[in-house]
């Protein structure tokens, strides 16, 4: 194994939506040296890898940023950071226009105005949205990109970040990266729970299977304060294909119906979690399967749906073709996915101030890893990347880079070499432990198997079993750096699992049906739980912190 030391002004971990836009912003407004480390390849990485057909966060004509804040707040039943939502919403339109300048095709009407889809969405031709962003960053003179480099840990001393450690998956290199400031933009966590489709189809899920919660795990281990991991996200999707349902609901106005043909969505509510909960409940009470009603739509709508899904979820279009029936001839069966932890849709992630600074000095968070600001989607991640970038530029003016001492680096090298030199007759493989983890979470921490429901005893069992798997993971062996990456991905997921379990247990109420369905506390409790459930890992233990709500667009600064 080779080792390489690198110095940079700014390290951006994750070359997805937020990471790319942060690099673009810093490069255009300063001469700071920026290094992006991307586990995959920046051209097709992150949630935009396969493209999207709409921008779901935009302030349409006649609306204002506060309207978007109010929408997100209602959807999350008030557990949001209004300062974060407002500062994000104020930038949604400007980052959209910048995307168009970079080459994104946004559909327009005969008057040259953007074609809207609902109150907050724009239609786009977004198959190449990620290559457009990647190309813009690649051409920047003061930005260096390291593809296929997996960052595994921060270097933090006295609560000040000095940089990070990583492995070069294709060049067998251990990287010691010293940085004045770090932006974490790695995305959320998939693969914690057993997915809808097992075996060789387990990658067919709502959120990218390569997003392992790495940024969360590094922050947890380093003692950063985290927030709202109990607000899991469960997507309502087309059955089997796990294709999006929003295009059906918003694009052709398809209603949720049960097997009796009854519209049930209004009975349970229209928030994101209520749509899932209603579907689960209708099935449980014997009125399933559930569908989105597309029978009777026009031939033009048929064609638009077939094209739209061919662009973003081809398996759904293929399913229609194979059945010999268009959407107008058959309703689309729907189901919930396994739970995910993702700050772009819910409020899970780092506890940040208004400037997106975490509680570790010099570390900033943007996109799916930044908590408190749900319903970001693509444009919100861009906006947070921009906010974090400006904050970092201010930070650089007054702070000088720390150093990673040799002893700290040697300890990390020893850890990595340990996985590469252990006896190959290890009792378990990484894949076996990952499957065991997903089974535990599915059975005891509110997965699909239990209709997303859990009680305190089950959570205690889950935590005990996940802790045991963590210990077993120390014995794993890697034949090469690709397998080494799989070990670290598993360990990241296990760390996040324990945090999720602790947060689910701490919120002794049911505020979001299905997302956090606590059978011991089935009712909402505003008196005790109209607050954030935060946590911090200290002295080998995850401590829960309850914080009062930050209301209004006022600036929030960290305090004990």
Least confident stretch, 4-13, 45-54, 180-189, 315-324: 45-54
DSSP one-letter code for 255: P
The greatest distance separating any two alpha carbons of the chain, rounded to the nearest whole angstrom, comes to: 69
Q: Render pLDDT for 120-153 as a digit per residue (tens, 0 to 9).
A: 999 898 889 999 999 999 989 999 999 999 999 9
**Is the CB of residue 331 less than 8 Å from the CB of residue 252?**
no
Residue range 162-179: mean pLDDT, rounded: 97
The CA-atom distances, in angstroms, between 357 and each of 364, 365, 369, 424 are 4, 6, 12, 42
Q: Render pLDDT for 8-21 as a digit per residue (tens, 0 to 9).
A: 999 999 999 999 99
pLDDT at 175: 98
| Alpha-carbon gap, residue 437 to 194, rounded angstroms | 8
| Alpha-carbon gap, residue 79 to 531, rounded angstroms | 7
Task: Output the 3-class SS for 109-175.
Answer: CCCCCECECCCCCEEEEECCHHHHHHHHHHCCCCEEEEECEEEEEEEEECCEEEEEEEEECCCCEEE
Q: Quickly state the pLDDT bin for 230 (edges 50, 70, 90).
A: very high
pLDDT at 96: 97
**Is the CB of residue 208 less than 8 Å from the CB of residue 165?**
no
Of the candidates 352, 374, 370, the one whose C-alpha atom is nearest the C-alpha of residue 361 is: 352
Task: Output the 3-class SS for 9-35.
Answer: EEEEECCCHHHHHHHHHHHHHCCCCEE
pLDDT of residue 227 exceeding 90, the answer is: yes
**Is the CB of residue 55 less than 8 Å from the CB of residue 122?**
yes
pLDDT of residue 199 exceeding 70, the answer is: yes
pLDDT at 425: 73
User: How do strand 160-168 and strand 291-292 relate by DSSP bridges?
Assistant: unpaired
The CA-atom distances, in angstroms, between 543 and each of 157, 223, 494, 498, 539 are 20, 10, 17, 12, 10
* Percent of the chain whose pLDDT exceeds 70: 100
User: How do strand 34-38 and strand 541-548 relate by DSSP bridges?
Assistant: unpaired
C-alpha torsion sign, points 418, 421, 424, 430: positive
| Alpha-carbon gap, residue 208 to 482, rounded angstroms | 18
pLDDT of residue 500 exceeding 90, the answer is: yes
**How would DSSP label each residue in 373-409?**
----HHHHHHHHHHHHHHHHHHHHHH-------HHHH
Residue range 72-92: mean pLDDT, rounded: 97
Q: Classify burial at 209, counting beta carbons within 10 Å of its beta carbon; exposed 0-12, middle 13-18, buried 19 or more.
A: middle
Q: Quickly state the pLDDT bin for 543 (edges 50, 70, 90).
A: very high
DSSP one-letter code for 40: S
CB atoms within 10 A of CB 354: 18
Helix (H) / strand (E) element for 270: namely none
| Alpha-carbon gap, residue 114 to 106, rounded angstroms | 7
**Is the CB of residue 25 less than 8 Å from the CB of residue 351?**
no
Q: Render pLDDT for 514-526 as a digit per residue (tens, 0 to 9).
A: 999 999 999 999 9
pLDDT at 50: 85
| Alpha-carbon gap, residue 518 to 286, rounded angstroms | 22
User: How do strand 332-336 and strand 291-292 relate by DSSP bridges?
Assistant: antiparallel
pTM: 0.96
Q: In sequence order, which ranges of 405-524 are alpha helices (DSSP H)?
A: 406-421, 430-444, 456-473, 481-506
Q: Render pLDDT for 351-397 as a digit per residue (tens, 0 to 9).
A: 999 999 999 999 999 999 999 999 999 999 999 999 999 999 999 99
Taking all residues of the chain, what is their mean pLDDT, rounded to a whole number? 95
**Is the CB of residue 463 less than 8 Å from the CB of residue 498?**
yes
Q: Where are the beta strands (DSSP E) in 259-354?
A: 291-292, 332-336, 349-350
| Alpha-carbon gap, residue 392 to 356, rounded angstroms | 9
C-alpha torsion sign, points 489, 490, 496, 499: negative
DSSP one-letter code for 452: T
pLDDT of residue 424 exceeding 70, the answer is: no
Helix (H) / strand (E) element for 38: namely strand 34-38
Q: Render pLDDT for 43-66 as a digit per residue (tens, 0 to 9).
A: 999 999 988 888 999 999 999 999
pLDDT at 554: 87
């Amino acid at each position: 194994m080779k080792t390489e030391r690198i110095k940079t002004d700014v390290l951006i971990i994750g070359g997805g939506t937020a990471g790319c836009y942060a690099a673009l912003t810093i490069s255009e407004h300063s001469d700071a040296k920026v290094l992006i480390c991307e586990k995959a390849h920046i051209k097709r990485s992150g949630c935009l890898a396969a493209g999207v057909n709409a921008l779901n966060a935009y302030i349409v004509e006649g609306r204002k940023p506060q309207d978007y804040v109010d929408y997100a707040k209602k959807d999350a039943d008030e557990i949001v950071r209004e300062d974060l939502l407002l500062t994000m919403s104020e930038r949604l339109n400007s980052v959209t226009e910048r995307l168009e300048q970079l080459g994104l095709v946004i559909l327009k009407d005969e008057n040259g105005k953007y074609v809207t889809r609902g109150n907050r969405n724009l239609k786009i031709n977004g198959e190449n949205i990620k290559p457009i962003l990647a190309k813009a960053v690649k051409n920047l003179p003061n930005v260096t990109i390291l593809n296929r480099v997996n960052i595994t840990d921060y270097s933090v001393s006295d609560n000040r970040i000095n940089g990070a450690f990583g492995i070069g998956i294709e060049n067998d290199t251990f990287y010691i990266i010293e940085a004045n400031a770090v932006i974490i933009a790695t995305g959320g966590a998939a693969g914690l729970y057993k997915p809808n489709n097992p075996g060789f189809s387990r990658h067919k899920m709502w959120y990218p299977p390569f997003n392992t919660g790495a940024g969360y795990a590094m922050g947890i281990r380093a003692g950063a304060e985290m927030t709202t991991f109990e607000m899991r996200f469960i997507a309502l999707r087309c059955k089997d294909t796990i294709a999006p349902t929003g295009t059906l609901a918003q694009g052709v106005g398809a209603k949720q119906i049960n097997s009796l043909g009854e519209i049930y969505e209004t009975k349970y509510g229209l928030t994101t979690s209520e749509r899932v909960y209603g579907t689960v409940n209708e099935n449980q009470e014997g009125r399933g399967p559930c569908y989105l009603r597309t029978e009777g739509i026009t031939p033009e709508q048929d064609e638009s749906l077939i094209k739209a899904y061919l662009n973003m979820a081809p398996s759904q279009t293929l399913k229609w073709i194979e059945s010999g029936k268009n959407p107008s001839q058959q309703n689309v069966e729907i189901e919930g996915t396994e739970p995910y932890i993702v700050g772009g849709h819910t409020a899970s992630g780092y506890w940040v101030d208004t400037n997106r600074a975490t509680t570790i000095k010099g570390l900033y968070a943007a996109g799916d890893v930044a908590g408190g600001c749900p319903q970001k989607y693509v444009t919100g991640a861009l906006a947070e990347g921009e906010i974090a970038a400006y904050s970092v530029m201010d930070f650089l003016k007054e702070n000088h880079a720390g150093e990673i001492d040799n002893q700290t680096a040697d300890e990390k090298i020893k850890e990595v070499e340990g996985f590469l030199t252990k006896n190959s007759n290890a009792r378990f493989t990484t894949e076996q432990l990952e499957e065991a983890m997903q089974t535990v979470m599915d059975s005891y921490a509110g997965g699909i198997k239990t209709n997303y429901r859990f009680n305190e005893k089950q959570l205690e069992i889950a935590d005990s079993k996940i802790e045991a798997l963590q210990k077993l993971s120390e014995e794993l062996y890697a034949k090469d750096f690709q397998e080494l990456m799989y070990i670290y991905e598993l360990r990241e997921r296990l760390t996040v699992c324990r945090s999720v379990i602790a947060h689910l247990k701490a919120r002794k109420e049911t505020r979001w049906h299905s997302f956090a369905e606590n059978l011991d506390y089935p009712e909402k409790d505003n008196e005790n739980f109209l607050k954030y459930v935060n946590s911090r890992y200290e002295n080998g233990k995850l401590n829960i912190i309850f914080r009062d709500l930050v209301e209004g667009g006022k600036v929030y600064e960290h305090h004990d």
